Amino acid sequence: MGLKTPLYDAHVRQGAKIVDFGGWDMPLHYGSQIEEHHAVRRDAGMFDVSHMAIVDLDGGRVREFLRFLLANDVARLKKFGKALYSCMLLPNGGVIDDLIVYYLSESRYRLVVNAATRVKDLRWIQTHAADFAVAVVERQDLAMIAVQGPNARQKSAAVAGTAQQNALLELQAFFGADFGPWFVARTGYTGEDGFEIMLPAAAAVDAWNKLLAQGVKPAGLGARDTLRLEAGMNLYGNDMDEDHHPLASGLAWTVAFEPPAREFIGRSALEGARRSGGPELVGLILEDRGVLRSHQKVMAAGLGSTAAVGEVTSGTFSPTMNRSIALARVPDASVAAVQVEIRGKLHAARVVKPPFVRHGKPLIEIQPQEHSK
């Protein structure tokens, strides 16, 4: 038996297949993962993400602390609710976790970190926060529901109440705001528009049921993974981890090297990696029939099975593109074509730049598929 979110019983009542995820009992799907995926791309779906850790930081030196702790620079955050995506690094540049930070005031910020890494994340944050006299409070009193899809904002606003509907609909992308007991952020992990709603745990079931009544379809971890991969979004433990720095994980854009005077954990290692170069994360589309999965070997096209040049980090079948897609770490992102070893056979794959899908539409031209020989 694992940890349970406040919505666990609701998932069981709705027929969810429950699986272990980072020590939590979470819904994998409610019957059809494909239908849940399409609901998010075409209408609105909701995910229970209460297993993720919401952490509030308070103190007079909290901005200084976060500028040291994170690879991205919170000095960019100047308006209430503004969000920033960043990695938290080891001194060697390896990724401890990726997270979102929200600016609440000059002395208060909110972090949302991954469920599977919450224990080590909290330990790391608390260790360094002590030097800055920053209080670290995990908000175990809160639940979190992600509502995503082209109609997600309208359906969420209908649940929030008449007085708050317009304000919710006017909330800018990558901002959060207080709406009564809800803190709502226009963020997500699917490549669709929508909200991530943080609310009192005791109110989670009522909010879930009201969203359900609005026609928002429950979706599980399976659809969440296919959606995020179509959107070209990394999964911690697959596409980034403590053995790989952000520059080798398609996350160079999350590292703020300016201003040069800002010292952050891992900066020296990243400066060295930036000078020397190294492997990069690319997208793959399988040209043959088959399914791409993590840890499959990537070969230089035409050089045979002994010429492994990289590895698939995340792979799946894309319901939107009707094709197998992947993220892979390779030494040279300029290569146009590779082969992937699937069950001992080589299959042709095209190297592309993620994302694959945004707002329900494929961003990459799909070529006629061939049967592998």
Model confidence at 181: pLDDT above 80: yes
pLDDT at 147 over 90: yes
Q: How would you write 106-135 as a 3-class SS string?
A: CCEEEEEECCCCHHHHHHHHHHHHHHHCCE
Same domain, 37 and 175: yes
304 and 201 within one domain:
no
Over residues 80-92, the pLDDT tens digits come to 999 999 999 999 9
Alpha carbon distance 276, 123 (integer Å): 32
**What confidence score (pLDDT) does residue 224 get?**
98
- On whether both 219 and 302 belong to a single domain, the answer is no
User: Domain residues for 38?
Assistant: 8-48+141-230
Closest residue by Cα to residue 28 from 48, 5, 50: 48
Q: Verify that 191 and 295 share a domain, yes or no.
A: no
pLDDT at position 372? 42
- Domain end (from 230, 252, 287): 230
In terms of domains, do 200 and 339 share one?
A: no
Inside any domain, residue 99: no
Condensed to tens digits (0 to 9), the pLDDT of residues 338-354 reads 999 999 999 999 999 99
pLDDT, the chain, mean: 95
Residue 147, domain member (yes or no):
yes
Regarding whether 289 and 349 lie in a shared domain, the answer is yes
202-215 pLDDT, tens per residue? Answer: 999 999 999 999 99
242 vs 234: CA distance, rounded Å: 14
Same domain flag for 152 and 22: yes
Tell whether 35 and 151 lie within a shared domain: yes
Would you say residue 213 lies in a domain? yes
**What CATH number corresponds to the domain at position 338?**
2.40.30.110
Read off the pLDDT of residues 247-293 as tens digits, 9 standing for 90 and up.
Answer: 999 999 999 999 999 999 999 999 999 999 999 999 999 998 899 99
What pLDDT, on the 0 to 100 scale, is given for residue 371? Answer: 46
- pLDDT at site 366: 80
pLDDT in tens, 59-82: 999 999 999 999 999 999 999 999
Domain boundary among 230, 262, 297: 230
Residue 152 lies in a domain: yes
pTM: 0.95
The pLDDT score that the predictor gives to residue 336 is: 86
DSSP 175-230: BEEEETTEEEES--SSSS-EEEEEEEGGGHHHHHHHHHHTTPEE--HHHHHHHHHH
If asked whether residues 171 and 308 sit together in one domain, one would say: no
Q: What percent of the chain has pLDDT over 70?
A: 97
Query: What single-letter amino acid sits at 348?
Result: A
Task: List, for residues 214-230, the tens digit of each pLDDT value.
Answer: 999 999 999 999 999 99
pLDDT at 104 over 70: yes
37 within domain boundaries: yes
Residues 22 and 151 in one domain: yes
- pLDDT for residue 35: 98
CATH number at residue 224: 3.30.1360.120
Look at residue 309 and tell me whether its pLDDT is greater than 90.
no
**The pLDDT of residue 29 is above 80:** yes
The verdict on residue 181 lying in a domain is: yes
Asked whether residue 76 is assigned to any structural domain, the reply reads no
Count of domains for the chain: 2
| Structure-model confidence comparison of residues 307 and 209, the more confident one | 209
- Residue 259 within any structural domain of the chain: no
Axis-axis angle for helices 152-160, 204-213 (nearest 10): 120
Claim to verify: residue 173 and residue 316 sit in the same structural domain: no
Do residue 297 and residue 211 come from a single domain?
no
Both tokens assigned to 280: 């990069």
